[in-house]
Structure 1
Amino acid sequence: MAYMMKLSKFFSLLAFICMFIINLSFPGYAAADTLGNETDKLALLAFKSQITEDPLGVLASWNDSFHFCNWTGVTCSNEQQRVIILNLQGQRLSATLTSYVGNFSFINLLDLSGNSFHGEIPPELGKLGRIQNLNLSNNLLGGEIPPVLSNCSSLRGLALDHNYLVESVPPELGSLSELRKLYLGNNNLTGSVPASLGNLSSLQELDMSYNQLKGEIPSTISQLMNLQVFRLSVNNLSGEFPPALYNLTSLEFLALSFNNFTGKLSNNIGLSYPNLQKIWLAYNFLTGSIPESFSNASNLQNIDLLHNNFTGKVPRSFGKLDLQYFSIGFNHLGSGEPDGLNFITSLTNCSNLELLHIGDNQFEGVTPVSIANLSTKLIEIYLEGNQINGNIPKGISNLVNLHTLFMRSNYLNGTIPDTLGMLSNLGALVLGSNQLTGKIPPSLGNMTRLINLFLYDNHLEGGIPSSLGKLQPTGNHICFK
């Protein structure tokens, strides 16, 4: 037993001597970690010193009572005890960003989103060579995007959206070869879309919507073969619908609404986007017919072509899709042909349809009775501003979840069906400017959630049913004349 104790002491002494020799031979070895740790701690304290509001008290733990690796929002590496994550997302902090954030030389995730950081983005962030995800979205940051962020060569995610950033998008960002997600939307960015972004061969999501970008989409965008989400809505972009976009075969979501795009869509658009789920092209100046090939994009669920200049018939092949949102209003569709509404029958196959907007076009003919067989998940139907005649189908009462029914400004005749009173979830019934006759059905009083009832400019007779007094007492908008 005594022998074993002596042996143990011998090995302990030997280990101590070895460590002593190592420290003599490499005097900077131990000091480097200590110095690095101190740099991270000082950077954290400098960051804290700029905080002017901390209503949730999340930085209360940032003191010498705890090792800085145990401070709220801080994660360190196990071996070197260096800061690798600083995550203070949504903590309602208010401050300017100190240049010391550039001293977290080992950090790979910095998330300060959802706070009230203001001032400019420190260019010192460009020193973070190991950072993979930088999220400063949903703050009050202004100024320009620092071009030196392109030095963060390991970046996979860069989110600067929902701020007040100005000037142009730095073309230097096109050198971030590892970038997967780039979010710059909801700022005040100007200038054009940099052609250099076409070099981001790994990019999967690109959002620059809600800015003031102008010019055409560069042809280099066609090189982004891994792009799944492309959002440039609400800008001042122009030119014909970019042919380069048809090369983006991985696209799942294409949003270009509220721009100035012109020209026709390719007849093969549905073949170009086999994975497409959502396409938003509303409020542009697109012309021509709606391509039949949309039905080849078998995953397509959400189509918004509102406010363009499309003409011709609506393809019946849309019934092959599992549509949830189908908005083609404010165009020139139908072209006055009596069978222009026949496509509605095909939509009865879309069992998940929630919104149908075909208002303000040139559709003629009678409302198909098949409208009663549309999805019971339908919440909104807009048929207004066309040349639709005939009776209102009684079977509309089958659409039990309907909240909004707009059929104003058509040539509807006959009486208002009693069955409409079965639509207990209806909040808006707009039948004004038609040729409806007869009395107002007392059953409308059963629609206890009805707020907007417009029956003006018809040929109705009789008084207002007392049952309508059961409608919501406040916030109503009721018009009969």
Structure 2
Amino acid sequence: MELQSMSLWAFWLFLLLSSMHVLRFFGSAANFSNETDYLALLHFKHLTTEDPLNSLSSWNHTLHFCHWQGVTCGGRLHPQRVTALNLTGQKLVGPISPFIRNLTFLRRIELANNSFNGRIPEEMGQLLRLRFLGLDDNKFTGEIPANLTRCSELQLLYLVRNQLIGSIPTELGSLSKLTVLALGINNLIENIPPSLGNLSSLTLLLSRNRLEGNIPDDLSQLVRLNILGIRENELSLLFGVNQFTRPIPVSLSNASGLALVNLNNNSFSGSVPLDFGNLKNLSRLRLWGNELAIGKGSDLGFLDSLINCISLQLPDVGINNLSGLLPNSIGNLSTQLNELSLDNNMIFGSIPSGIRNLICLTVVNLGYNFLTGRIPIGVGMLNKVEQLEQ
């Protein structure tokens, strides 16, 4: 405890001496307001424990801080205030200084692909001009600060590949300008908050964590959403002390802008929604590794609806319990289709001859089913096929 106090005292002495230098550095009291940014950056450097590329070597008294590596100043009215901090991929190690709150003109923070650790400072919520926050590929721990929702101008939030825990803050639903929300590959738990359905400008939602509960119907309000990735979670529909079946919400088909639906490796059951055909922009549908089926030999009806998805390139519904005959309509799927994966199900009958119409196919994976009969002659016309499994 005594050593910590001495260390803190030494740092404040360092700041005092630095402040005296700042007066000489800026040359006049008129510029003294810039000392706030200067000292905040110095504290950021002070807490950085490793800098193997010497990225912060220019952060010294010989250069104006606006010329330090990774620092951008700008603005017509405040040309010497820090507006961006970009130290992406510099292999820096250490916690983020809480004094970052004093960089009140910051609009962009790009610290991806480093080894910053500790908690994401609550103080970042005081950066009211912040539009871009990129902290992906680091080692941040703790929870996502709900305080970030005070950054009402925030448009892009990247927190992928960290060690974050806890739940997705309900308060994120108040960030009305948010267009990118990337939370994948962390240790987040609990439900997806329905409040995210309020983010009318959202175009990307990625979560690969340990989420549970249902996919909220509210997400169907995200008409600009083009990617929904909820891979490798444990999604179920929970009511009180009961645990009911876990269908894929039909309401997702109302998110008309969806181009990619990735629900791989969950515990979804029930049927594949027929209304997925309403997703006119759908290019990739990944439902691999679930428990989809209704057990009446008619589980493949959704393929008929996908005819309306003229940009479809990949439907992957392998490793489920789907049963039934492959419909002849399979030949009417998008001619852009390059992969068809229906393996490891209980599909029976023969391969429809219309498959020859899918001229862009490179992979046909129908293995581990109960198909009979010969491979249609038309398959020989698919000269792009590199992999065929029956």
- TM (norm. structure 2) is 0.76
User: What's the counterpart of residue 135 of structure 1?
Assistant: 134
**Deviation at residue 388 of structure 1 after TM alignment:** 0.6
| Bigger relative contact order (CA 8 A; separation at least 6) | 2
Match of 1:58 among 51, 55, 58: 55
User: What's the counterpart of residue 64 of structure 2?
Assistant: 67
The CA distance in 2 between the partners of 1:238 and 1:345, in whole Å, is 37
User: What's the counterpart of residue 103 of structure 2?
Assistant: 104
Q: Does the CA contact (< 8 Å) of 1:249 and 1:273 recur in 2?
A: yes
Any idea what the Cα deviations from partners look like across 1:314-369, whole Å, max 9, x if unmatched?
3324233221111112223333xxx434232223xx22222211112222112223
Match of 1:237 among 193, 209, 212: 212
Match of 2:265 among 283, 286, 300: 283
User: What's the counterpart of residue 92 of structure 1?
Assistant: 91
User: What's the counterpart of residue 364 of structure 2?
Assistant: 381
**Deviation at residue 79 of structure 1 after TM alignment:** 5.0
Distance 1:384 1:57, change over 3 A: same
Any idea what the Cα deviations from partners look like across 1:284-314, whole Å, max 9, x if unmatched?
3434433333222211111112223234233
Consecutive unaligned residues of structure 2, counting only runs of 5 or more, are 1-26, 237-244
Any idea what the Cα deviations from partners look like across 1:87-140, whole Å, max 9, x if unmatched?
111222233323343332332222222112223333443443433333222112
The CA distance in 2 between the partners of 1:159 and 1:267, in whole Å, is 28
**1:326 aligned to 2:315?**
yes
Q: Does the CA contact (< 8 Å) of 2:230 and 2:262 recur in 1?
A: yes
Give the secondary-structure state (helix, strand or coil) at the position aligned to 2:84: strand
More strand by share: 1
User: What's the counterpart of residue 331 of structure 2?
Assistant: 345
* Equivalent residues in 2 for 1:10-409, closer than 5 Å: 33-77=30-74, 79-80=77-78, 81-165=80-164, 189-191=165-167, 193-239=168-214, 241-258=215-232, 259-261=234-236, 262-265=245-248, 270=253, 272-306=254-288, 307-311=290-294, 312=298, 313-314=300-301, 315-321=303-309, 322-335=311-324, 339-347=325-333, 350-376=334-360, 378-407=361-390
Cα RMSD between the aligned structures? 3.0
Give the secondary-structure state (helix, strand or coil) at the position aligned to 1:83: strand
Distance 1:400 1:38, change over 3 A: same
Give the secondary-structure state (helix, strand or coil) at the position aligned to 2:372: strand
Q: Does the CA contact (< 8 Å) of 1:43 and 1:100 recur in 2?
A: yes
**Deviation at residue 32 of structure 1 after TM alignment:** 5.8
Give the secondary-structure state (helix, strand or coil) at the position aligned to 1:402: coil
Distance 1:94 1:79, change over 3 A: same
Give the secondary-structure state (helix, strand or coil) at the position aligned to 2:213: strand
Q: Does the CA contact (< 8 Å) of 1:108 and 1:130 recur in 2?
A: yes
Distance 1:203 1:79, change over 3 A: closer
The letter for the 1-side match of 2:357 is N
The letter for the 1-side match of 2:34 is N
Q: Does the CA contact (< 8 Å) of 1:275 and 1:297 recur in 2?
A: yes
User: What's the counterpart of residue 11 of structure 2?
Assistant: none
Consecutive unaligned residues of structure 1, counting only runs of 5 or more, are 1-29, 166-188, 408-481
Q: Does the CA contact (< 8 Å) of 2:270 and 2:293 recur in 1?
A: yes
**Deviation at residue 255 of structure 1 after TM alignment:** 2.4
Distance 1:278 1:204, change over 3 A: same
Q: Does the CA contact (< 8 Å) of 1:282 and 1:308 recur in 2?
A: no
The CA distance in 1 between the partners of 2:271 and 2:347, in whole Å, is 14
**Deviation at residue 214 of structure 1 after TM alignment:** 4.2
Q: Does the CA contact (< 8 Å) of 1:206 and 1:230 recur in 2?
A: yes
Identical columns (%): 35
Distance 1:224 1:95, change over 3 A: closer
Q: Does the CA contact (< 8 Å) of 2:184 and 2:207 recur in 1?
A: yes
Q: Does the CA contact (< 8 Å) of 2:332 and 2:357 recur in 1?
A: no
Q: Looking at CA atoms only, which structure, 1 or 2, has the larger radius of gyration?
A: 1
Give the secondary-structure state (helix, strand or coil) at the position aligned to 1:343: helix
The CA distance in 2 between the partners of 1:144 and 1:243, in whole Å, is 25
